[in-house]
Amino acid sequence: MEFMEVVRRRRSVRKYRPDPVPQAKLDRMLEAARLAPSWANGQCWTFVVVTDAKVKNALAGAGNEWIEEAPAIIAACADPAKSGEKGDQGYYLLDIGIAMEHLILAAADEGLGTCWIGWFDEQKAREALGAPKEARVVALTPVGYPDEEPEPRPRKLLGEIVRKDRWS
Ligand SMILES: Cc1cc2nc3c(=O)[nH]c(=O)nc-3n(C[C@H](O)[C@H](O)[C@H](O)COP(=O)(O)O)c2cc1C
């Protein structure tokens, strides 16, 4: 798909068909994440691809029961020590945000649905994944063939969000 078409077509999908996701599609999504830029090229990320029913159930139990129906869930985790800081701002969140969006756009290009999940009990997610205590579980996404076609959500107009040269 042409890049802007991928960007326009991506939606947050919250209903999935049970069909498994072909490994080649997952591999291309993960490759897109691997190529993402990061603070000082620290690549602070680990992506856990969950297809095991028990692990999916435990991960869904961290606050989003509905994600269990997706054939796969990807957890994007960070080691903040491998990223950077500016004042009180930890850049691992940005690193993960960029890499995860690469992955999510690659999924859209593969005809797959995803949904950013930022709200979950991190401790429960860490336990479900067996991740070490220094790992931050930053975001989750279900992955699978969509079983719904959500309408585009509203967006602000460019005129509302862009300023030229100076704020006012
Ligand atoms: C950082 C981030 C966290 C999000 N967390 C959740 C979440 O916990 N649960 C959920 O259902 N959707 C979550 N979303 C999805 C947003 O609600 C969604 O992107 C927004 O409503 C726009 O819809 P669209 O993605 O279909 O364009 C999150 C999105 C982002 C970018």
Q: Give the residue extent of every domain in the chain.
A: 3-146
CA of 119 to the centre of ligand 1 (A): 9
Residue 69, Cβ density class (10 Å: 0-12 exposed, 13-18 middle, ≥19 buried): middle
Choosing among 3.30.70.640, 3.40.50.300, 3.40.109.10, 3.30.70.790, the CATH entry for 3-146 is: 3.40.109.10
1-49 pLDDT per residue, tens: 999 999 999 999 999 999 999 999 999 999 999 999 999 999 999 999 9
What is the C-alpha to C-alpha distance for residues 110 and 114, in angstroms, rounded to an integer? 11
Which residue among 6, 8, 12 is best mutated to probe the pocket of ligand 1, counting the most ligand atoms within 8 A of its Cβ?
Answer: 12
* CB distance 6 to 108 below 8 Å: yes
Report residues whose beta carbon is within 6 angstroms of any ligand 1 atom.
11-12, 115-119, 150, 153
Question: What pLDDT shows up at residue 88?
Answer: 87
Question: What pLDDT shows up at residue 163?
Answer: 98
Which residue among 117, 137, 141 is best mutated to probe the pocket of ligand 1, counting the most ligand atoms within 8 A of its Cβ?
Answer: 117
110-166 pLDDT per residue, tens: 999 999 999 999 999 999 999 999 899 999 999 999 999 999 999 999 999 999 999
What is the C-alpha to C-alpha distance for residues 62 and 139, in angstroms, rounded to an integer? 12
CA of 118 to the centre of ligand 1 (A): 8
pLDDT band at 78 (very low <50, low <70, confident <90, very high): very high
Question: What pLDDT shows up at residue 168?
Answer: 85
Q: Is the pTM of this model over 0.85?
A: yes
Element (H, E) at 105: helix 92-109
| Minimal-distance CA residue to ligand 1 atom 9 | 117
- Report the alpha-carbon angle 127-34-60, nearest 5: 30
Three-state DSSP class for residue 35? coil
CA of 11 to the centre of ligand 1 (A): 9
Q: Is the pLDDT of residue 95 over 90?
A: yes
Q: Tokens in use for 112?
A: 């797959």
